[in-house]
Each structure stands twice: as structure tokens, then as C-alpha cells.
Amino acid sequence: MCKLDKHALQYALQHALQYLRPSTDLHNRLRPGVRLMLCVVLMLFTTYSVAQTKYPGVGRAATAAEVSAWDIDVRADFKGLPKGSGSVKRGEDVWEAKCASCHGTFGESNQTFPPLVGGTTATDIANGRVAALTKPSEGRTTLMKLSRISTLWDYINRAMPWNAPQTLSVEEVYAVTAYILSLGNVVPDDFVLSDQNMAQVQARLPNRFGLHMNHGLWSVQGKPDTNNTACMHNCTQQAQLRSELPEHARDAHGNLAEQQRLIGPTRGTVTTRVASAATSTTATSSDTNAAKSSTAHAEARALATKHACLSCHGIANRLVGPSFQEIAKRHQTDNQANTKLAQKIRAGGVGAWGNIPMPAQAHLADDEINRLVQWILSGAR
Amino acid sequence: MSARKFFGRILPATETARVPTRSSRRRFLQHTLGAAGAATLALPSHAADNAAQGDPSILKPQPHRIGLGQPVATFGYGQPSQWEKNLQRRQSPGLTRVTQSSVAFTPLQGSFGILTPNGLHFERHHQGWWDIDPSQHRLMVMGLVKQARVYTMDDLMRLPSVSRIHFIECGANTGMEWGNVAVPSVQYTHGMLSCCEFTGVRLSTLLDLSGFHKKTARFVLAEGGDGSGLSRSISIEQALDDVIVAWAMNGEMLRPENGYPLRLVVPGAQGVSWVKWLRRLEVGDQRWDQREEVLHYVDLMPDGMHRQYTQIQEAKSVITSPSGGQTLLDHGFYNVTGLAWSGRGRVKRVDVSVDGGRNWRTARLETPILSKALTRFNIDWQWNGQPAILQSRVIDETGYVQPTIGQLRAVRGTRSIYHNNMIQSWKVAENGEVSNVQVG
């Protein structure tokens, strides 16, 4: 009796099923004997849930190419990891071009996203636990939390760069992963990360033993970790106020009076400061030019928000790149400024304001670029 | 205490003193609430002249009573009243630096009943939202299945559908309050919370259709079709129980910000598992340890370890009115109202305290009371003008009692970000102003 490999059987069955679907031409070409045989094989394979015939005509089999196009996940056991490799050196080049604008040259930037690197030590690498995580004063970087190298690889491959995900090659994903790990001294500067050595690098992750599931929050049946009781009378001493908003934060969320309904048992509390309330009454309705200009500014600002320009450029403050007002100031007397800036947005560039490159924004329409340039040069309010 | 003193600064509206009372209330409002509150509020302006006759809103002909109104279909898709503009989804300033990876909070302070209007459903995106062409959207079911399958929206919407009301709460809801009070109103403390009637096909139907491998299937990975390709693992038991692959919310298709045309509904689990723009479901024998399972949505404990795969939203409640950022108009009667919910099932009881947790009374639960859905509670309260601290405490059908912030911190410290289901405290000051506080 021949012995069938399980995977081979699964593969054969998947294809057999395609042939069995009534809409498939091949169905009619198969001899009845073959069909019967396939059915018998299917019936023998009873560990699969079978309900396919219940809703005929709904859905279709996925092709192998379709599955492969979308099946990108990489698990902790490296199932799904494509073969390939990438060096720290190559990773540094990719980083400078595509990652540093948000994450900083050394992955340390806290301007756009929390820092990726920092807070880990050689002792952590030896222990597999990041000591700084026990210190309340320490911030948390990605590398401090990272317990699975597969997660970092998958994250970059799946979602980075932030504004152009899934555009990195397999080599670039390996390379950028290696570069980040080199910044945390997990791998040396001349390292080449590959599908062959991912497991060895996993064994050096500073926080590889830092996760657990000893809690009751995975399933509905889980056991809670607090045990309050439903006392009804004289339950506590006089309540002590432990925390309230400081006075200086009163207007941190705007004027709450404008965030509440205008009727009902309560009104919103006015939280604006007296000074700002006084100036708001000085605006005159006759100043239509100012109003128009203000609308144009608001629209352009919305455009800048939409395209994430404000992730890297502040209006008046420098983030990853220069502030818009700095740019306007530099180009005050430059009559080529419109063309230059439009070109800079469209194609990207580096050097004018430091060594962090501005990525190309080729997806913006010309009209959008022109509006943004006008707005920046007019002071970007 | 005399009746006069009990009712306090603002005189009660007796028949003989009616108009002067409203006039004095108007002055009080202008004084207390400033221009923003009073300017938009239509209160009588010729009160003194008409003192003898009564309220001009009754005595004077109203334009809408003596004129012709607007035609049908003025708006092909209706809008809220112009008077409701204050109730908007809003961001919490400083919480995030980029608007595509951010949160917009639901204005719970103005909510009624248990359903969230679609336009006010909270938003949380990791790499921006899209309005995807539904005719091009595909769902693939693959992995440990007899046959990997592809469905169009046409296919999915032919299948038998169910409609279920469930809450969705971000795991990080109330996360800003772990260490101390950080935000002023219920919109920001609890507004990553919504509740809708979702319509779709049960996930178990789709898994059956693909013939998932019953012996080896332990987990299902759900993945989104946006730039983040957001992905989370759920257990096969959960997947076969009450999970829905949904295309509709509150009687219309999903809103783009909420995953149009397809999202996962995972009742009781934190929002990140409710994958939006759902495009792929993979059956497997291990959890996947994805970015949102290893680097985010992990809860840091005081010993420096992270709890992984914390997903159940434990029982929680909050008073939505009176709540932070509101000012009470008068002494006397108030209906204290709020929301309670549990990721483990139904709400059994809600108690309310007005003295910071020393004494409690049981509130009325309004129907419907559904599993893993918001439940509305109400309770009567006479405010005598003295300072008060309002709290609510839910007990769910498992007997679990909502904890205090002190009880949570004793186990989890102050840095775990996620799953803060503490009893919320609102302080009512003598001037009627309600603010967010923590008591111990």
C-alpha cells in the first residue's frame, strides 16, 4: 500500500476541489471514474469541516498566486519568512533615504513617533530582560519592548515606510532590520542578517524573555486580577482627593463650553482664559480680506495635515525638517522660490537644511503642491 | 435647612416670580458660562416688559409656526440640527504627533441610550483611513483550510447575515488616567467607546465554507487592507462563537473611517482586534506575534514584564451626565445617567455614589440589556448645592465588580496604558462646575 505524504495530499485535494466545482470547465473533462475517486479521497479526509456545498455559487477558490500575493505574515517560528539577506551597511543607506525623516538618523527621534532605539544594555542582551523597563522614569523604545525578531521584520515588511508601505524589497527589509538591531548593539556593524541566522539573532534580543500570558484577559473565562466587593454603606472613610487637573491645564482641550449641548440639565464649562476671550471680540466682520486669507490658510493647512507634511515640519517649530516659517523666511527675496519649493516637494532632496533627506512626494497633484508652496511662502499660518 | 436655602442661589421658578427668575437665571448663565454658553442660547430678552403676561416664547408668534418650512429632500442625507454642532469627534491635544496615526474621541457627554450615531463613532487609525471601492474589495480565507477561498462583497452579502448590538472599546481607553487625572471630560477619558448594531456574516460560516482543519486549527489571523496591514490573532473558539464579518453598522454600510466595506466584529475584545478594511483571514495553529501583539497592545507591569494578548475588556461603567466639563444649571433634581458594559457578558447591576464611594444606591438599568453591549443606567439625585463626588460601579453577570484605581494600581502599577476600567469620579463643586478627579 502506498503511503501518502500529508502535505502532498492536501495539495492534491486543493486542486481536486477546484476541478470538482461545477463551474470549472475541467469538471466536464474529467472522466466520471476520476471524479468518483476524488470524492472517495475527499470523504476519507474527514478532519476538515465540510460545508462548502451549503452555499453554492458563493465565493471561489483562491489561486496559488493570489494566496502568495497576500500571505505576508511571518510568525515567531519564522513560518512565512522569505529566503534572503541584507547587510547593516545596505540598511544604513535605505534608512537614510526612507526612514530617517521620521525616525531620526539613529532611530532615536521622538519627534514623529516614539524612539525605536535606546535604553538597552549588554547586560540586557545577556539576560534577555531589559532592566530599564522596571524604572518608572524611563521611556520605552521599540527595542526595549521587542521580544520577537520576526515581529520587527514583519512590521517593516508590512507597514513601512509609513507613507509608502510594502515598497521595500525583501533584501531591504532584512537590511533595515539589521541596521536597527546594530544601533542597539544586538548585531555588529558588519553583520548580514538572513533567513539562516534570524534564530541566532533572536537569542540576543534584549527583551526576549520580557512577555508573558499569566493574566486573565485573553479569554472570557479568564480570572480577573482585581477583587472589588459591592459594599453599599459606610464603605470608605471620607474620600480624599488624590488628583485633579492643574489650573494651567484648564484650557488644554479647548473651551469645553463649545463641546457640550446647548440645552439640558447642564452647560459646558467655559475654560478659556480671560485674556483670550477678550481678544476674540475684537475681530470685525468688515475685514473680509483677512477672512478670505484665513480660509485659504485653513484649507492649505488641512492639505498639509492630510499629506502628513506636519509630521516632519512644524508651522513655527523645527521637527524632523525645518519649520514652514523658517522656509518662508529663507526664501523671502528669492523670486525662484515657487519653482524651487515645488520641485523639492515633488522630488525630495537633502542638504538644504541638514542631512536628513526629505522624501519625494510624487503622489501629490501639481495643484496641491502649488497650494502648499503658496501657503508656506505666505507664512503658513 | 430651609427650602429656600436648599434650592440655593438661583431662585425656584414659582408662578408669581416666573419671569424675573428666568431673567436672573440668564444673568447667572452669562456670568458663569460667558459668551460661548449664553450667546447661542435663546432666552427671553424682553422679560421685564412681558412680566405680567408670561414667556415670550409662548406669547409671541414663532416664525416656524406662522411660516412655511423647508421642502423634502433638502438634504439627500440628513444632518443633525444646527444646534447640535458642539457634539463632534475630537482629538486630545498632544496625545499623538501625526493625525494619520491618532484617535478621535466620541462625545459621550451628549449621548442617549446605548447606540452611537455613525458619524460620532470613535476613530483610531494606524496609517490613515481609506474609502475603498467595494467592487474591488476582496476577502481571502486561507491557511489550514481545505480550500483557500476568495469572496467579493457581492458574495459575502449573499450569505445568511446576523445583526447584533455590541460595544467596541479601544484597549487604551482611559489609558491617559493611569498615573493621574490628565484630561477634563468624559469625551477624552472614555470616548474611545462606541456601540452599534452590526450586520454581517458569522465568521464560523466563512470558516466552514473553506473547510478549516478542525484538528489543527487553534487561531485565526485577521488582516486589514490599509497601509498598516493591521493584524491580530483570535482564538478559534472565539472565532466560532460570536465573531462577525460585518459590512453594516446601525442600518447602513460601515463608514469609511470604521472600515468600509468590511470589518471584523469581535464582541468583548478590545478594538484593535476588530480589524477594519478586512481583507484576509488565515487559519493557523499558533498565534502570530504581530506588531500589535508584541510591540503595541502589551501591558507593562511593575516588574518590567509585559502582559501579552490582553484583549478582554473587563466590566466598566461611567456617568456621562453630569460629567467633567459640565456645569449644573441649578440646585434640585438631576437624572444621573451613564453607561455600563462588560466584555464577559451582560451587565447585572450598577451602583451609584454621590459621596466619593462611601455610600451607594442601585441605579435603574434601561432595556435592552445585551451581552457585550453598552447598557444605559439612570438614577435620581437631588443636588443640595454642597460639593459632591459622583461615581458609578458595575457588576457583570460573572459577579465581577468594577475596581477602584487603587486596586488596579496595586496589581498593575501606573504604566500599563491598556485596560484601565477604574471607577470614574466626577467632582461637583459648589458653583455647579463638574470636573475629573481621582479619589482614594
SS (H, E, C) B190-236: HCCEEEEEEEEEEHHHHHHHHCEECCCCCEEEEEECCCCCCEEEEEH
Average pLDDT value for residue range B302-314: 98
Per-position b or e across A99-129, b if 16+ CB within 10 A of its CB: bbbbbbbebebebbbebbbbbbeeebbeeeb
Is B91 contained in some domain? Answer: no
Strand B162-169 and strand B316-321: the pairing is unpaired
If asked whether residues B140 and B198 sit together in one domain, one would say: yes
In chain A, what residues touch B438 (CB-CB under 8 Å)? Answer: 241-244
Question: With contacts defined as CB-CB under 8 Å, which chain B residues touch A229?
Answer: 401
Residues B119 and B148 in one domain: yes
CB-CB: which of B99, B404, B438 is closest to A243? B438
Residues B421, B281: one domain?
no
For residue A80, give how far its alpha carbon lies from the nearest alpha carbon of chain B (Å). Answer: 10
Put simply, the chain B residues between 90 and 149 with a CB less than 8 A from any chain A CB are 90, 92-94, 97-101, 107, 109-110, 126-128, 140, 142, 145-149
Do residues B116 and B238 both lie within one domain?
Answer: yes
Domain hosting residue B58, numbered range: 3-66
Using DSSP's 3-state secondary structure scheme, residue B439 falls into strand
CB contact under 8 A, A310 and B355: no
Is B79 contained in some domain?
no
- Answer whether residue A52 shows pLDDT above 90: no
> Residue B50 pLDDT more than 70?
no
- pLDDT at residue B127 is higher than 90: yes
User: What pLDDT is stored for residue B280 in this prediction?
Assistant: 98
Shortest distance, CA B347 to any CA of chain A (angstroms): 14
* Mean of pLDDT values over A299-303: 82
**Cα(B409)–Cα(B423) distance, integer angstroms:** 12
Write out residues 34-93 of B within 8 Å (CB-CB) of A: 34-37, 40-41, 83-84, 86-88, 90, 92-93
B366 and B278 both lie in a single domain: no
Peptide bond into B134 cis (omega under 30): no
Q: Are B325 and A268 within 8 A, CB to CB?
A: yes
The CATH number that applies at residue B235 is 3.90.420.10
pLDDT value for B174: 98
- pLDDT of residue B208 exceeding 80, the answer is yes
The domain boundary residue, chosen from B265, B285, B307 = B307
Q: Mean pLDDT in chain B?
A: 91
Task: Measure Cα distances from A209 to A160, A193, B304 in Å.
Answer: 26, 21, 11
Residues B295 and B162 both lie in one domain: yes
Q: CB distance from B21 to chain A under 8 Å?
A: no
pLDDT (0 to 100) of residue A49: 60
* Residue predicted with more confidence, A236 or B254: B254
Task: Choose the mutation target among B177, B209, B270, B398 for the interface with A, i.e. most A CBs under 10 Å.
Answer: B209
Query: Which chain B residues are closer than 8 Å to A260 by Cβ?
Result: 86-87, 109-110, 325-326
pLDDT digits (tens, 9 = 90+) for B178-201: 999 999 999 999 999 999 999 999
**Surface of A (161-200) touching B: CB under 8 A:** 162-163, 165-166
Q: What is the pLDDT of residues A109-145, one digit of tens each?
A: 888 888 999 999 999 999 999 999 999 888 999 999 9
Q: Of B264, B280, B307, which residue is a domain's last?
A: B307
Per residue in A184-198, pLDDT (tens digit) is 999 999 999 999 999
Instruction: Please report the pLDDT score of residue A344 as a whole number.
Output: 82
CA triplet B271, B276, B282: central angle to 5 degrees? 95
Contact B354, B389 (CB under 8 A): yes
pLDDT at B75 exceeding the cut of 60: yes
- Among candidate residues B33, B35, B15, B11, the one with its CA nearest the CA of residue B23: B11
Confidence of residue A19 (pLDDT cuts 50, 70, 90): very low
Q: Which of A207-211, A281-285, B69-73 has the lowest mean pLDDT?
A: A281-285
| Nearest CB to B334; choose among A45, A62, A265 | A265
Instruction: Count CB pairs under 8 A between chains A and B.
Output: 387
- pLDDT-based confidence at residue B108 (cuts at 50, 70, 90): very high
Residue B140 has pLDDT above 90, yes or no: yes
Total structural domains in chain B? 3
What the block records as the C-alpha cell of B380 is 435620581
Lowest model confidence (mean pLDDT) among A59-68, B11-20, B159-168, B404-413: B11-20
Residue A114 preceded by cis peptide, ω within 30: no
What distance in Å separates the CA atoms of residue A297 and residue A302, rounded to the nearest whole number?
A: 8
Of B127, B214, B351, the CB nearest to A230: B351
Mean pLDDT check: name the lowest of A129-143, A255-269, A301-315, A362-376: A301-315
Percentage of the residues of chain B whose pLDDT score is greater than 90: 86
Neighbouring residues of B179: CB distance < 8 A, sequence distance ≥ 6: B414, B415
Per-residue pLDDT tens digits for A72-118: 999 999 999 999 999 999 999 999 999 999 999 999 888 888 899 99
Q: Which runs of E-coded beta strand occur in B257-396?
A: 263-265, 278-284, 299-300, 306-307, 316-321, 326-328, 332-341, 347-353, 361-362, 364-365, 375-383, 388-396
Q: What is this model's ipTM?
A: 0.88
Residues B419-429: pLDDT tens digits? 999 999 999 99
Put simply, whether A285 touches B (Cβ < 8 Å) is: no
Check A48 against B214: CB less than 8 A apart. Answer: yes
Q: Average per-residue pLDDT in chain A?
A: 82
Measure in Å the smallest separation between the Cα of A107 and chain B Cα atoms.
Answer: 16
pLDDT at A204 over 60: yes
Give mean pLDDT, residues B254-277: 98
List domains and CATH numbers for chain A: 6-70 (no CATH), 85-202 (1.10.760.10), 292-377 (1.10.760.10)
State the average pLDDT over residues A167-196: 98
CB B147 within 8 A of CB B210: yes
Q: Are residues B129 and B262 in the same domain?
A: yes
State percent of chain B over pLDDT 70. Answer: 88
Nearest chain B alpha carbon to A17: B147
